[in-house]
Structure 1
């Protein structure tokens, strides 16, 4: 079962990001039998996490038309055929077994939201079933998990989940997940339906920094009038991210080569994408800090130096993989 537990932990990393789980300083206690704490530093990412857990990846699957149970099979696109094949394969799985399948089976890659939606439409899942629990939170419903799996879900797909009875919430876990979304219509639906207001703007603003999501920042500032609230990134989360940026250490050539040599040839393209994604996530946080954080001159200079270092590191890493032939 070791591979299954690893895959499941990797799935949670992929969808909430290394930064998020490090911030929580706790584990998915119902799923992982041993306590593990993960550092957001790139040096601390293990080979297995880098290979299996794409961080903040820009998946486009939720924008594609999702096949319904009544679609004529002869007219299905390749995308739709994959969705139906996955549903057929996973339809009898529940809870932890379904999560493991979604995290490990190549058939589910980039299709998780689509698969969950069709499983709901075809009656294999209930709208507000709980997939898993984490200490203090039991809301890993199909919709919540679909949002974890996609930073690009649009309002059309969200409406399909809601039409099937899915509920949205405004608790801390939902705020963290929604802070990774970019579709303004979807964000508007969530904000208005869950009773959020100006009293929540500071927390939402900080969650946007955690996610490195400029679209969510603009939603709070412009669409919801947060610019009149004099918002700035503040509190423990903002300080931790700022300190992490200032203290950022480059991935050494030795560590990079070690990751590469211990990975299988078929894993190396994903390894490269995930290492780059970690750097790009930090760069997005840097951009937000420089725009909206209260920084001393020295802090601003240090953050700009880290920005330049990360950009150089990305080029160095891409050059390394190109020299290895992928």
Structure 2
């Protein structure tokens, strides 16, 4: 029996009311079908566009703190209070960190650089206003120049400087608020205190969340500290900064570094021991080369310091 004949027999057996309902349903079904258009057919034959890669990712660390991965290059942190949020560092600047941070919080956003290297301050131009230690503007000007930003992208990311950074003019850079030891970011029922910890750069800082006890340490308390880049100070300076942190060790619950995973409070002892061994001469260091150049490496109980033998002690 043909399909047409079957359909006629089916309709003959329906009552008028049931037939009306059936026809209404058929019309509704037809109206919901989207027929292919000429444009649809054309799109099917086009080469699919490459998707924009996801640059930032984030994870909640508890206590109102988020870590933001800068595509694996570095780590930034977002800390929320009741009235404001604080973004610690701005990454390499490849993508808009301002927009990403604001997708995580509705609060007014304050921004601070733990130090001014290009992987921590390269995204500063996404903001109108950034906080920086008073000893750090020279480092910022040096390392975020277009020449050094191009070097950073070639050495760290194996890609050219993105157009959004290459076309920047002087007026595109943010206003700086210079801060000192003891400055407190008041976020509303949450205070973040600044400690000055030179060594990696002259104006490196760590930020202590006085409520949760977490300390955001940039490149100061980190698995392998670098004291050999241009404008770094001395191992002696670095140790003094670590001792400043040690003085409040009983109020610290964890370290959140600018690279790598969170570190336990006990790690500070290993880092201090490494610096002391360099200063005393107990550890002369082994030859070690980074993309910055040749240096010496001293390691002690899981901590490491890469240093310049000409910058161990401060000048007399």
Q: Give yes or no for TM over 0.5.
A: no
Larger Rg, first or second structure (1 or 2)? 2
Q: Could you state the TM-score of these two structures normalised by the residue count of structure 2?
A: 0.27
Q: Which has the higher strand share?
A: 2
Q: Could you state the TM-score of these two structures normalised by the residue count of structure 1?
A: 0.27
Higher relative contact order structure (alpha carbons within 8 Å, sequence separation ≥ 6): 1
